[in-house]
């Protein structure tokens, strides 16, 4: 019984450690780089980087960067992150990143940058392939057609509005995919914890600890053997939040 309890405890601790350093930590590093990159873009990719709008976005990016850096679980009030991660903070941070990117690209970038952004957004909306996305993609295609000089100011305003809407749709689709992955990761972690408790109770009630441990090891090895063969649906889906 003592050996079984020790094995289960070590297995659970290894899951917590691996989850934090290979998933949570990597997400935090990506978020830090995204907010630092946004701070740079708010200086180099806007026409008037001293305007109140740009300064407000720079303040927001700096606040979020400071918040992400404070998520390391080394203090007492953060230690629960080892056991309860994730609690939606990363999802909220990605929403903030995408809103900053949307406002930068659609409303603050010079007009020379809008057309390349629109062509990229047009292709991404076709990939999303939902009715709202297709409608905006069709409108972008029409807005990119040549027009007369008299109609150009109105066309440019229309292009920026379409770009803002397109980025909102694309980012919402990416955020939904990322949130789904995080939810499955959380469910899998707690299901593993529940399975370890069940094994412990069964060992205490019925004995045969070696058989239960062998079954758990067999299930783990089966999962490991299937992963390299690419049997997990959507394993290669790109949910990186690159802009």
Question: In the chain, where are the structural domains located?
Answer: 7-223
pLDDT bucket at 120, cuts 50 / 70 / 90: very high
Nearest in space to 195 (alpha carbons), one of 212, 210, 180 = 212
First-to-last alpha carbon distance for the chain, in angstroms, is: 52
| pLDDT at position 231 | 41
Average pLDDT over residues 114-133: 91
Where b means 16+ CB within 10 Å and e means fewer, 165-181 reads bbbbbbbebbbeebbee
Q: In terms of pLDDT, which residue wins out, 208 or 188?
A: 188
Distance, CA of 224 to chain centre: 25
| pLDDT at position 122 | 93
Dump strand ranges (E) for the chain. Answer: none
Nearest in space to 105 (alpha carbons), one of 32, 39, 51, 167 = 167
Say what the pTM is.
0.72
The DSSP secondary-structure symbol of 49 reads T
How would you class 82 by CB atoms within 10 Å of its CB: exposed for 0-12, middle for 13-18, buried for 19 or more?
Answer: middle
Is the per-residue pLDDT at 232 higher than 50?
A: no
pLDDT bucket at 198, cuts 50 / 70 / 90: confident
Please state, rounded to an integer, the average pLDDT across all residues of the chain: 80
3-state secondary structure of 1: coil
Contacts of 12 (CB under 8 A, 6+ apart): 192, 193, 196
Is the per-residue pLDDT at 240 higher than 50?
A: no
Tens digit of each residue's pLDDT (9 = 90 or more) over 70-102: 887 665 556 666 677 777 788 889 989 999 988
Structure tokens, 51:
């305007």
| pLDDT at position 174 | 87
CB 124 within 8 Å of CB 134: no
């Amino acid at each position: 019984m003592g050996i079984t309890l020790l094995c289960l405890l070590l297995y659970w601790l290894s899951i917590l450690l691996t989850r934090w350093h290979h998933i949570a930590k990597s997400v935090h590093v990506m978020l830090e780089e995204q907010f630092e990159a946004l701070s740079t873009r708010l200086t180099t990719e806007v026409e008037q980087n001293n305007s109140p709008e740009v300064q407000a976005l720079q303040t927001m990016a700096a606040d979020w960067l400071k918040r992400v850096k404070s998520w390391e679980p080394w203090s007492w009030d953060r230690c629960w992150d080892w056991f309860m991660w994730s609690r939606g903070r990363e999802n909220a941070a990605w929403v903030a990143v995408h809103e900053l990117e949307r406002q930068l690209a659609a409303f603050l970038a010079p007009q020379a940058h809008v057309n390349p952004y629109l062509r990229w957004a047009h292709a991404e909306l076709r990939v999303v392939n939902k009715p709202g996305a297709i409608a905006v993609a069709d409108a972008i295609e029409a807005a990119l057609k040549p027009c007369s000089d008299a109609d150009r100011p109105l066309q440019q305003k229309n292009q920026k509005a379409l770009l803002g809407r397109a980025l909102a749709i694309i980012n919402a689709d990416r955020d939904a995919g990322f949130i789904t992955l995080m939810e499955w990761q959380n469910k899998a972690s707690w299901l593993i914890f529940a399975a370890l408790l069940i094994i412990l109770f069964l060992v205490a009630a019925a004995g045969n600890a070696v058989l239960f441990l062998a079954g758990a090891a067999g299930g783990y090895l089966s999962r490991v053997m299937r992963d390299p063969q690419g049997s997990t649906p959507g394993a290669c889906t790109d949910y990186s939040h690159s802009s």
